[in-house]
Amino acid sequence: DQQVKQNSPSLSVQEGRISILNCDYTNSMFDYFLWYKKYPAEGPTFLISISSIKDKNEDGRFTVFLNKSAKHLSLHIVPSQPGDSAVYFCAARSPGNQFYFGTGTSLTVIP
Amino acid sequence: DTAVSQTPKYLVTQMGNDKSIKCEQNLGHDTMYWYKQDSKKFLKIMFSYNNKELIINETVPNRFSPKSPDKAHLNLHINSLELGDSAVYFCASSQVLRRPQEAFFGQGTRLTVV
């Protein structure tokens, strides 16, 4: 009963191009959505978030888009840099303040 | 100044043993969590706890129990360890009803049961 899904386990992008990571969820009660970045042997670190009442949030090279009707969100990174190579987790917060994570997408930015 | 710290970072133990993983946060958050990352890299919530309520994921065996001596600590106790318990365990914390609303994670504890 995975409530947050990332269907692409990996993604490779050329440096300077746009990276688009996708995420789908099933629970319409989620009120907050987040993206985390994770390097090997480290804990996930927060990257960017969006409230369920918005459809876009931008922070520098990172933009998160939310389509509530489709229960879909995406993270755009532009331009992509080699240092962006990591595993990206999509997460959603329930009204009970529990965070549910997807399985992650491993992004490789090729110099 | 590590915001969320876990100890130990690595833990190797035999089947049947009882072990604990400690977690401390210095962010003043009121809610703490334990997550398990299995071999498929899925981060699955095990517990969330604040000073009022413990929420347990129903799939977590009762061999796992969180213990919170105070608001800044949430330790994970595991009894009668099994091979399938091998995973990376992450502690996290957040603050309800205050921005930022994200959870902050520790570096993880890699548990290997042999």
B109/A contact by beta carbon, under 8 A:
no
Query: Which of chain B's residues have a Cβ under 8 Å away from the Cβ of A2?
Result: 42
Give me the total of CB pairs closer than 8 Å, taking one residue from chain A and one from chain B. Answer: 57
Check CB contact under 8 Å for A46 and B44.
Answer: no
Query: Which of chain A's residues have a Cβ under 8 Å away from the Cβ of B44?
Result: 101
- The answer to whether the beta carbons of residues A22 and A110 sit under 8 Å apart is no
Alpha-carbon torsion (A40, A31, B102, B75), positive or negative: negative
**Out of A54-63, B13-22, B50-59, which region has the weakest mean confidence (pLDDT)?**
B50-59
pLDDT digits (tens, 9 = 90+) for B56-114: 787 889 999 999 888 899 999 999 999 999 999 999 998 876 655 688 999 999 999 99
Check CB contact under 8 Å for B107 and A41.
Answer: yes
Helices (H) then strands (E): counts for chain A: 0, 11
Check CB contact under 8 Å for B101 and A32.
Answer: yes
Confidence band for A98, pLDDT divided at 50, 70 and 90? confident
- SS3 string, A79-97, reads CCCHHHCEEEEEEEECCCC
Query: Which of chain A's residues have a Cβ under 8 Å away from the Cβ of B35?
Result: 101
Distance CA B41, CA B88 (A): 9
